[in-house]
Amino acid sequence: MGSFFSKFKIFGVVMLFVSGVIIYLFYNALQPKKILPVYTPAMVNSELVAAEIQHVRKYHTIADFALVNQNGDTITQEDYKDKIYIADFFFTTCPTICPIMTKNMASIQDKIGDDVLLLSHSVTPQIDSVAQLKKYALEKGVDDSKWNLVTGDKKQIYELARKSYLAVKTDGDGGPFDMIHTENFILVDKKKRIRGFYDGTKVEEVERLLEDLQVLKSSYKE
């Protein structure tokens, strides 16, 4: 009799475990999957967007570019083809938010695989020469295989910032292409579309970016 009840007890435990697994699977199946938005100029603070495209509500992508990185190599959209990447705007002599942003971008660098790249644009290209960018890269622990710090024509960088990445304010006091960069990190998908904006000075925002990055990566496996 004891043996019968012992077997019944084991059966009950097994059934309880199986039931728990089934309930867990059903619960996960019923949960809506997170889908990242596709950002367009009309969805973003108008201060960060060129006036002529503020009305655009769809089909917004990052424009082609040709800029020079910390190693003197020309970097184009081809270097980021079929890659997810994270972009931002900075300058090497910035004493305020840039050191924090760079530190946080470096932490992201250490947590991404080879299928994700980083791209930082100088908003003071007249100061940030290739040599200056290389010095900064070495100081900040930049991995050249994952992260390009780029400089180049100021008008091109300004237009990328205001018409593509939607991430920089304008300042007309010193010239037509003056820029006030923001703390934004921008998540870009394989189709060159913006999928998220994050405050690069805040650890919790960096964590949110990394979570969204996994969501985006998973979307390519489905």
- Residue 98 marked in a binding site: yes
Token representation of residue 123: 């908003």
- From the CB of residue 159, how many other CB atoms can be counted at a distance below 10 Å? 15
Q: What is the DSSP letter of 79?
A: G
121 annotated ligand-binding residue? no
Pairing of strands 168-170, 179-181: antiparallel
| Residue the block writes with tokens 């805040």 | 202
Q: How far apart, in whole angstroms, are the C-alpha atoms of residue 173 and residue 156?
A: 19
Q: How far apart are CA 209 and CA 100, in angstroms?
A: 16
Q: Which residues are annotated as a binding site for Cu cation?
A: 94, 98, 181
**Binding site: residue ranges?**
94, 98, 181
